[in-house]
Amino acid sequence: MSQGFWKSIKKPIIGLSPMDGVTDAAFRLIVAKYGNPSISFTEFTSVEAIKYGAIKALKAFKYSNMERPVIAQIYGKTLDAFYNATLIACEMGFDGIDINMGCPSKGVAGNGAGAALIKEPEFAKKIIRTCIKASKDWSEGQNIDQNDIHPDIKAFLDKLNLDFPRKLIPISVKTRIGFDTIITEEWISNLLETKPAAISIHGRTLKQMYSGEANWEEIKKAAKIIKQTETLVLGNGDIKNLTDAKSKIEYAGTDGALIGRASFGNPWVFNGKNATLAEKLIVALEQSKAHSELLGEPFDPIKKHLCWYCKDFDGAKETRMELMQSKNFEEVQTILKNKISQKS
């Protein structure tokens, strides 16, 4: 097992949880700059999409050095696609690679990936071992040109002129406590057979989706098992703020925790700062600019982020309505600069 950066990372680990449609390059850049989490994960990316040459899938793999250690999260159900996606993530200089075994959406779990892998423990282990092998092969000189990687993906990577040092990149897993029933100890014991560098556990089953409360008692049970190994364990679910994160880490005996929804419109959640309204609006504008520069079109995905910043002040609803009608950064700039001058 290669632990990579996980071996020396400062504890407790307070990281940014991977969230589809949220943790894009612009958001992660802002969180890194203003919150400085211990680690950050990309949005999850389909290994099959990469296999079939979908260049746009690699948009999720954009990152800045400010985010390090930064981890590429991947999902899917095809072993050779996992192998190639791992090689590509290694080639792109990520500090770690995380396998999503927790997404409950019909589009993912319904196709046998994400949390559906909880029902397929033997295949789940094959996936982890495949990614570990790919990382090892890359560290020993395996070249993407020597593999069945789509020519469009190869051409895209060639243009980047990548030249990262060859080293073992650690493989981790993010999962849940069960599929339709809680099977925490059995499932986690299965995963530990592959010796992943870390396991992040969301305290709900797939059946629960995001309803109810995250079960930190089950995370505690998982941590007790994992702590008997070299694998690190992170808890996830319903963390409200930095104080809450530290309290849950202490209760469950984990090495750290991942913060998800509490970071919406609040990159400062990782350091406990209470930002002023003016600061929130300034950073919202900065994130909008980063989105335009890093991700370009479509513009709509940034709008929910902007609305998250615009709460709890007179005229907040009207401001959100204006932002939802905006079509580009220039229009957002006009809306927010006016509000910033009013609130400063």
Reported as a single tens digit per residue, the pLDDT across 31-66 is 999 999 999 999 999 999 999 999 999 989 999 999
Q: Can you give the pTM of this predicted structure?
A: 0.95
Task: Among 270, 301, 321, give the residue marking a domain's end.
Answer: 270
Looking up residue 117, the CATH number of its domain turns out to be: 3.20.20.70
Token pair listed for 48: 């099959």
Say whether both 183 and 48 belong to one domain.
Answer: yes
Give how far Cα 26 sits from Cα of 22, 93, 256, 289, Å.
Answer: 9, 18, 24, 9
Say whether both 168 and 302 belong to one domain.
Answer: no
pLDDT given for residue 276 in this prediction: 93
Say whether both 194 and 309 belong to one domain.
Answer: no
Distance (Å, whole) CA 78 – CA 215: 31
Task: Among 253, 270, 287, give the residue marking a domain's end.
Answer: 270
Token pair listed for 2: 């290669």
Say whether both 178 and 299 belong to one domain.
Answer: no
Q: What stretches in the chain show pLDDT beneath 50?
A: none
pLDDT given for residue 261 in this prediction: 96
Say whether both 55 and 197 belong to one domain.
Answer: yes
pLDDT given for residue 283 in this prediction: 97
Distance (Å, whole) CA 63 – CA 59: 9
Say whether both 42 and 155 belong to one domain.
Answer: yes
Distance (Å, whole) CA 300 – CA 302: 5
Residues in the chain: 344
pLDDT given for residue 344 in this prediction: 57
Say whether both 247 and 291 belong to one domain.
Answer: no
Exposure on the CB side of residue 6, measured as CA atoms within 13 A: 26
Say whether both 246 and 230 belong to one domain.
Answer: yes
Say whether both 339 and 217 belong to one domain.
Answer: no
Which parts of the chain are beta strand (E)?
13-16, 40-41, 45-46, 70-75, 96-101, 171-178, 198-205, 232-236, 256-259
Residue 195 is part of which domain span?
4-270
Distance (Å, whole) CA 37 – CA 175: 20
Distance (Å, whole) CA 184 – CA 165: 37
Say whether both 20 and 86 belong to one domain.
Answer: yes
pLDDT single digits (tens) 146-193: 778 999 999 999 988 889 999 999 999 999 999 999 999 999 999 999
Number of domains comprising the chain? 2
Say whether both 312 and 229 belong to one domain.
Answer: no
Distance (Å, whole) CA 232 – CA 226: 7
Task: Among 242, 270, 298, give the residue marking a domain's end.
Answer: 270
Say whether both 166 and 265 belong to one domain.
Answer: yes
